[in-house]
Amino acid sequence: MIVAALKWIGGIDGFLELIDQRELPGEFVKLQCRDVEKLCEAIKTLAIRGAPAIGVAGGYGLVLATQRLTPDDNLKAGLACLVKTAEYLASSRPTGVNLFWALNRVRKKAEDFVAGKPGASLQQMQQVVLEEANAIYAEDVDMCRRIGENGRKFIKDGDGVLTHCNAGALATAGQGTALSVMFEAHKKGKKFKVYVDETRPLLQGARLTTWELKQAEIDVTLVCDNMSGWLMKQGKINAVITGADRIAANGDAANKIGTYSLSILAREHRVPFYIAAPSSTFDLSIKTGAEIPIEERAADEVTFLAGKKVAADGVDVYNPAFDVTQAADISAIITERGVIEKPTPSKIAEHLR
Ligand code: MRU
C-alpha cells in the first residue's frame, strides 16, 4: 500500500492533513493544518517535504487563506489575499520550483475566473481555488504513476539501484518519482536490490525511503552517504535514480545535497544516472543550474543527530540543503511524458512543448 503524504479533508471550509514526516519511521502521526501559518511552519520544518508534495500543499495553502475572508470582503480583497499568501508561502523553501509553480497556477486561475465573472461571489472564487488545488493534486498522482511506467525499463533483473534522499510517496501526492520507477519495476515482477543513502543531515533516506521500500516489500539495503563510491567500485550499482527539486532549461538538476557527488561517482564508474521528475519541476526561466537558489539550513541540523550533540561547541557549520548535478552527467530525465535521453536545451524544450 502506498501512503498518502497529504490529503485535503472537506470542502472550502476544510483543512489539510499531513503525515508528520519529522516523526517517521518511529511514529506515524497525522498533522492537521487549519491555517496558513501552521502549513508554512510544517513546510519549513519538513513535516511535509519533497518538491512535488510541497507544491501540492502550497495550492491548498491558498484555500486555507481564503477561509479568513469575511462576508464584507469583495473579490478584489479575495485576490489580494491570494497574492499576499502566495508570497508568504513562497518564502518557506527556495529551491524546489514546484511550490512557486503551484502557487502561481492557483492564483492565476482565480484571477482569470474573476476577470471573466466580475459579478461572482467570494464563495464561488473560493470554490475555484479549491478545485484548482484539487486538480494539481490529481495530476500529481497521475504524473507519478506515469513516471514509474516510463522509467521501469531502466531497471533490469538482478540490478543494484542506488537512490538518495526520499523521492517516494512521502515526497509527492502520488507514488513518488524515483521510487515510482522502482514500484512499477517491482509490480512487473523484476528482482532488484535498492541501496539507499542515509542522506545526512536529516536522514530522509534512512528514515523515509527505507520505510517506504520495506512497506512495498522491495529488497532494500541502507548505506551511509560516504559508502556509495565503494559500492560502485565493487560493481554493486547498475543505476542511480533520484528525484529533483528544480531542473533548468539546459537539464542541470537541483536535488538533495549529495546528489552531485553521486553523479560524479556514477560518471567515474560508468553507471547510468537518472533523474525522475514531473514536468512541474522544470524551470525554463533559468538557463542553467547556476541560477538555482540553494537553501541553506540551520547549523543544528548538522551539529545534532537524533537530539544528541555530535560536534564541538561553537564550530562553524555550512549546511546547504541542495546541490546541482550537471546535465552532462545525467543519462536521462524521466518525466510523465516520456524520457529525455542525454538532456540538452533543445530536447527539453521539445519534450515540454
Ligand atoms: O529537503 P527535502 O527533504 O524536501 O528534499 C527532497 C529532495 O531533495 C527530493 O529528492 C526531491 O524533492 C524530489 S522528491 C520527488
pLDDT per residue over 299-328, tens digit each? 999 999 989 999 999 999 999 999 999 999
Residues 73, 78, 83, 89, CA torsion sign: positive
Atom nearest to 164 CA in ligand 1: 10
Residue 55 CB less than 6 A away from ligand 1 = no
86-131 pLDDT, tens digit each:
999 999 999 999 999 999 999 999 999 999 998 999 999 999 999 9
Say if CB 172 and CB 198 are below 8 A apart. Answer: no
Tell me how far apart the alpha carbons of residues 220 and 209 are, in angstroms, rounded to a whole number.
Answer: 9
133-186 pLDDT, tens digit each:
999 999 999 999 999 999 999 999 999 999 999 999 999 999 999 999 999 999
- By alpha-carbon position, which residue is closest to atom 14 of ligand 1? 167
DSSP alpha helices (H): ranges in 191-296?
204, 210-215, 228-233, 259-268
pLDDT number for residue 17: 98
Average pLDDT of the chain? 97
Question: pTM of whole model > 0.75?
Answer: yes
Tell me how far apart the alpha carbons of residues 136 and 123 are, in angstroms, rounded to a whole number.
Answer: 20
- Band (pLDDT 50/70/90 cuts) for residue 268 is very high
- Band (pLDDT 50/70/90 cuts) for residue 220 is very high
Contacts of 290 (CB under 8 A, 6+ apart): 252, 324
For residue 350, what is its C-alpha cell? 521539445
DSSP alpha helices (H): ranges in the chain?
36-44, 51-66, 75-90, 98-116, 122-151, 178-187, 204, 210-215, 228-233, 259-268, 300-303, 345-352
Three-class SS state of 162: strand
Closest Cα to residue 34, out of 55, 18, 56, 46? Answer: 18
Distance 77 CA to ligand 1 centre (A): 34
Say if CB 277 and CB 247 are below 8 A apart. Answer: yes
Q: Which CATH superfamily does the domain covering 151-352 fall into?
A: Translation initiation factor eif-2b; domain 2 (3.40.50.10470)
Residue 152 CB less than 6 A away from ligand 1 = no
Domain parsing of the chain, residue ranges: 6-146, 151-352
* DSSP secondary structure letter of residue 184: H
pLDDT number for residue 329: 98
- Band (pLDDT 50/70/90 cuts) for residue 259 is very high
Tell me how far apart the alpha carbons of residues 350 and 353 are, in angstroms, rounded to a whole number.
Answer: 5
Distance 80 CA to ligand 1 centre (A): 31
Tell me how far apart the alpha carbons of residues 147 and 163 are, in angstroms, rounded to a whole number.
Answer: 16
pLDDT number for residue 222: 98
Tell me how far apart the alpha carbons of residues 52 and 136 are, in angstroms, rounded to a whole number.
Answer: 10
pLDDT number for residue 170: 98
Cβ count near 183 (within 10 Å) = 22
pLDDT number for residue 231: 98
Q: Which CATH superfamily does the domain covering 6-146 fall into?
A: translation initiation factor eif-2b, domain 1 (1.20.120.420)
Tell me how far apart the alpha carbons of residues 246 and 262 are, in angstroms, rounded to a whole number.
Answer: 17
pLDDT number for residue 344: 98
- Please confirm, yes or no, whether 245 is among the known catalytic residues: yes
- Band (pLDDT 50/70/90 cuts) for residue 2 is confident
Give the up-direction half-sphere exposure of residue 161: CA atoms within 13 A in the CB hemisphere. Answer: 30
Distance 264 CA to ligand 1 centre (A): 19
For residue 239, what is its C-alpha cell? 543505476
Three-class SS state of 194: strand
- Band (pLDDT 50/70/90 cuts) for residue 286 is very high
Tell me how far apart the alpha carbons of residues 279 and 325 are, in angstroms, rounded to a whole number.
Answer: 17
Radius of gyration of the chain (CA): 20
Q: Name residue, grid cell 499576499.
A: 84
- Position 1 pLDDT exceeds 90: no
Q: Looking at residues 212-225, what average pLDDT do you find?
A: 98
